[in-house]
Amino acid sequence: MAGSVIGYVPTMGALHEGHLSLVDLAREQCDLVICSIFVNPLQFGPDEDFESYSRPVERDLKLLEARGTSVAFLPDWVEIFPRRERTLQDFGSHVSVPRLSHQLCGRTRAGHFDGMVTESLLFLNLVRPDRTYWGEKDFQQLRIIETLVQDLRLPVRVVRGVTRREEDGLAMSSRNMNLSPDARAVAPRLHQVLLESRSRLLDGDALSAVLAAARDTLTERGFEIEYLVAGEEESLTEVRTLDSRVPTRLFAAARLDGVRLIDNLRVTEVAP
């Protein structure tokens, strides 16, 4: 369709309202909406859940059709990686955004973001969209894609979608379905602690004390914390004190009942 604005929503399937809200946003802004479903092997570590990752394809297709998606792009693994590459080491080429990839989730998921951004660039080259839609829940991933597009002058605009949450505040994620009933009842505490921490920080409490209390609270509720820090939005650099001139977020990753949960929340923003 010559002259049409093409929007692209990349996913790994197991769709939820967070994904579908990006489809809705793309439909509002574009003439044609393409949504991919592809479980990318390059971004899974050797001990992660690539094989068991949920793949309810028929359900996902019905959801996309109901939301008015123009094209569902579901390539087979061997169509994208004809030599059946499973890791970055198997794949001949890759790209990296190192200044944003080694902190936060990158500390414990070596190679994850290189695999994600390599596959994302490959798909952007295949789809050739005008706009691509990414959620703020995976904020580090979002910033890496924004930096890739900016640094390599890719002819696409990255559009942010706000984090969608369940009624109890838990950030929507395909992995939430893996929580046991007891763990699911506790999981919203992660977001609640971030809200409480932001409130204390805006009241002037010391950042180090607020973060220490938040970690203690989550640990008491059964979370195994990977990180809970404050960081600059643009660089993701961890900060020790808040600066009202620098947009800052709280970032958290923790395991509960063996399920990895992540969340983030803006604390400060620069007044226009």
Tell me the pLDDT tens digit for each residue of 74-112.
999 889 988 888 788 888 888 999 999 999 999 988 888
pTM for the model stands at: 0.93
pLDDT in tens, 136-173: 999 999 999 999 999 999 999 999 999 999 999 999 99
Residue 50: count other Cβ atoms within 10 Å of its Cβ.
15
Q: Which fold has domain 6-161?
A: Rossmann fold (3.40.50)
pLDDT in tens, 170-194: 999 999 999 999 999 999 999 999 9
Residues serving a catalytic function are 19
CATH class of 174-267: alpha beta
d(CA 14, CA 109): 22
Residue 211: half-sphere exposure toward Cβ, Cα within 13 Å? 19
Q: Where are the domains of the chain?
A: 6-161, 174-267
